[in-house]
Amino acid sequence: MKNYKDIYEILDDLRKRPAMYLGSNKSNKSFTALIAFLSGLQFSRLEFAKMYDGNPRFSEFNRWIPRKIGGMSSQMPWEWMIEEWGNEKAFDKFFELLDEYRSCKSVCLSRAIIRNHKPTFFQIING
């Protein structure tokens, strides 16, 4: 088994060979199967936390994508927003948006040290 350094490597491999990761069906590009796969990855997150590192942090993707698609006021889950394009097109759109998100950089907006606690706030921006 390949030792992945982060979740982006897994998703890059999945994009190239979706049937290997999602199972085979008429269309290997199933957004529904992709969401199930991502849910499984999220479930395993505690055990494999290092895979969610990366820059930008994949854990922020679910906050970035609704703002990208629906604007700042959107409360709809991002999966539903993409799924409106249809199963196969949503699969391709997910990877388009993932590529755009990966080109973003994390920026530290402020940092405070309060009695042994170091909260840090990040915003994902393009560029």
Q: Given a cut of 70, is residue 1 above it in pLDDT?
A: no
**Rounded-to-integer distance, Cα 2 and Cα 14, Å:** 13
Question: Which residues are within 8 A (CB) of 122 and not within 5 positions of it... i.e. 6 or more apart?
Answer: 57, 60, 106, 107, 108, 109
**Cα-based distances in Å from 2 to 13, 101, 108:** 11, 24, 33
* pLDDT tens digits along 19-42: 888 886 666 788 989 998 988 887
- Torsion from C-alpha of 100, 101, 102, 104, nearest 10 degrees: 100
Quick check: 122 and 60 in contact, CB under 8 A?
yes
Convert the pLDDT of each residue in 59-114 to its tens digit: 788 888 888 887 655 677 888 888 888 888 999 999 999 999 989 876 666 666 66
pLDDT-derived band at 127, boundaries 50, 70, 90: very low
Question: Both tokens of residue 36?
Answer: 């199930």
Residue 15 has what pLDDT?
93
Half-sphere exposure in the Cβ direction for 108 (13 Å, CA): 6
CA-closest candidate to residue 111, choices 103, 121, 97? 121
pTM: 0.58
